[in-house]
Amino acid sequence: MVKEQAARVVAAIDASGTEARLVDNVIGIAEDGSDFEQQPYLKGKVHVTLRELLMTPLRRGVLPVIPSIGHTDTTQTVVSVTANDVVLALTREFAGLWSTKSPDEHPNVVKERLQALRSEVSLDRLILVDPLGGIPASDRKNGYHVFLNMEQEYELAKQDLINRGGMYSETSQKPTLPKASPNSSIGDATPLSSFTENKPGELENSPPLQNGSPAKQDPRMKFHLENLELVRSTLALLPPSSSALITTPDEAANSEKQPEFKAAGVGTRRQRNPLIHNLLTDKPAFSSSLPVGRLGPMDKNEPISSSTKFAPTTFAKHGMPVIIFPDPKTTPWQPPIAGVPQISLTDPQIDLPRLVHLIEDSFNKKLDVQHYLRRVNNRVAGVIIAGEYEGGALLTWELPPGVPDDGSEESRKRMVPYLDKFAVLKKSQGSGGVADVVFKSMVRDCFPGGVCWRSRKDNLVNKWYFERSRATLKLPDTNWTMFFTTPEENMDHQSFKDYEAVCKVIEPSWADKRGIQD
C-alpha cells in the first residue's frame, strides 16, 4: 500500500515533465538505545542509512520520493514509520546531526566531516502539503495562524489545539494521541493519505471547528498538532533563517485562483498562491499583522469585514521571543490609578541603553533621553520588546488638552492609548517579520480595544500603517497623519476628538529639536 501510493506520486511528477525516482531503502530504524533519544529534537530511532542512494538522484536533478517505510538495522525487517519521522530523519541527515563518530576521533576531524556534509546540501525550508491546511487558531478572526513565531507562540498554539481537540484525558492530563502501529498501513502514517482515502467532500462536511474546549475529540486537531510539533522540531535543527510552510494541495496546485464569492473589505492585496510566493520571497502570502478584512482580493469601495475568505496557510519561523512589560495576561494595561505605582523606563526589567539605541537606530535621530523620560515616565502604559531589542514599541496613556490630570474616574476615562514609539533596527527592517511580531502583540495582546498614533505625512512607512489601521486623518495645520485601530463599536465622537487632540500636541523629544517644527 505504501509503495503503491509512492509510485502514484512518482508517476504524477514524471507526467508533469520533471523526473522522479522511488527511493524506498534509505530509511533505517535503530534497534538498540541511541544517544540521540536523550537529546531535545534529536530523539527517535529513524535515520538515513544509505546517504548516497539519496544524494545520487539529487545531484542529477531527479526528485527522490521516499515512502514512509524503514528497515531495522540488524534484521532488515520492513517496518511502517510515520511521515513525520522520515522528515526528521532527513533533516538530521542533511544538517549533519546523525553522523556517528569514534570516541578517539579528533574534534577537528569531526568538524571537517560535518562541514563537508552540510556543504553538500543546503536545507532551509520545510513545506507541508496537507488537506487540512494551516494551523487553526481560536483567537484569530480568520481561524488560522498566518505566521507563527515559534519562539513566542508555539506553547499557546499547542495548548489551543489540545483544548479544541479534546485531547486531555481526565486522569493523565496529557495529550492522548494514538500511536502508529508497526504494521499500520499508509493511512496511519500520514494525514494526506487519510484525506485520499476519504470520500470526496468528507472533510469539508465534517463538523466545524469550535472555539474553546469541545466536548468530543476532533481528529483534525490531532493532525494539526502533529504538524505543529514537526515544524517546531525541524526548525530547531536548522539555522534561524530557515522557515516552514503548511498549505493545502488545492492552494499549492493553483497559480491563480478566483474567489468563490465577492468578499467584502478594503484592501490592497491580490490573492496569491502561497507556495509560489513563499518560494520566491520566504515570506507568508499576507502579512500576519494585517486586519483580517484585508487578507485577500477585495473591492476597495466596500468596508472592512471579517468575512473575508483566504487560504488556510501557515508560515512559520523559529522566530524570536517577545517580552511585554507589564505582562497583559497578568496585569491588563489600564489607565493609571492615583496612588498605584506605574511602570517606568528606568525599571530594572528594561534595558534603557538598548531601548534608546533601538529608537535612535530606527529613526536615525538622536533622542533627548532626559527630556523623553520626563515626558513619558508617569504615563507609560507598557513596553514591547522583540528578540534582543531588535524591535519594540513604547505605549503611553495621554490626556487630551483641557482635561484635568486629577486622578478622577472621569479623567481616567478620557485617557488615550497612544503608540509613542514603534522601532525596528535597520538591519532587521524588511525581513524576519520583526515589525509584524511587535504590531501583532500590540493590537492583540496589549490594546485589543484600539490604539492611536501619528506619523509625518511624508513618512515612507505610512503605506504599512495605512494597511494596518482602521482609519486615518490628516491633521489640519500640521505635518502629521493620525492612525488608529479602534473598532467602530468602541469609537464615539468624543473619543475621536480626543485622539485628534492628543496627536496634535505630543511634544517630540529629539535632541536636534527639529521635530518641534512639525
Per-residue pLDDT 10s for the chain (518 aa) are 888 999 999 999 999 999 999 999 999 998 765 544 444 455 568 999 988 899 999 999 999 999 999 999 888 999 999 999 999 999 998 887 765 555 677 777 777 777 777 777 888 899 999 999 999 998 877 788 999 999 999 999 999 999 888 765 333 344 444 444 444 443 444 444 444 444 433 444 444 444 444 445 678 899 999 999 999 999 999 988 899 999 999 888 876 555 444 434 444 445 678 888 888 888 887 777 877 665 554 333 434 444 444 558 999 999 999 999 999 999 999 999 888 888 999 999 999 999 999 999 999 999 999 999 999 988 999 999 999 999 999 999 999 999 998 889 999 999 999 999 999 999 998 766 899 999 999 999 999 999 999 999 999 999 999 999 999 999 999 999 999 999 988 899 999 999 999 999 999 999 986 544 44
Using left for φ > 0, alpha for ψ between -120 and 50, and beta otherwise, residue 201 falls in left
464 and 345 in a common domain: yes
Q: Is residue 285 part of a domain?
A: yes
In terms of Cβ atoms closer than 10 Å to its own Cβ (0-12, 13-18, 19+), residue 165 is buried
312 and 393 in a common domain: no
Q: What is the domain count for the chain?
A: 3
366 and 270 in a common domain: no
CATH number at residue 376: 3.40.630.30
Q: What predicted TM-score, i.e. pTM, was given to this entire model?
A: 0.78
409 and 294 in a common domain: no
DSSP sequence for 371-422: HHHHHHTTTEEEEEEETTTTEEEEEEEEPPTT---S--HHHHHHPEEEEEEE
DSSP sequence for 101-140: --TTS-HHHHHHHHHHHHHH----EEEEE-TT-S-B-TTS
Q: Is residue 138 part of a domain?
A: no
Quick one: angle between helices 83-94 and 51-59, nearest 10? 80
Identify the helix (H) or strand (E) that includes residue 500: helix 493-505
102 and 206 in a common domain: no
Task: Please state, in angstroms and rounded to a whole number, the distance separating the CA atoms of residues 164 and 184.
Answer: 27
CATH number at residue 10: 3.40.1160.10
By DSSP bridging, strand 452-456 and strand 471-474 are: unpaired
332 and 466 in a common domain: yes
210 and 83 in a common domain: no
467 and 336 in a common domain: yes
Q: Is residue 231 part of a domain?
A: yes
Full domain range(s) for residue 343: 322-517
170 and 258 in a common domain: yes
In terms of Cβ atoms closer than 10 Å to its own Cβ (0-12, 13-18, 19+), residue 68 is buried
313 and 432 in a common domain: no
Chosen domain end from 297, 317, 337: 317
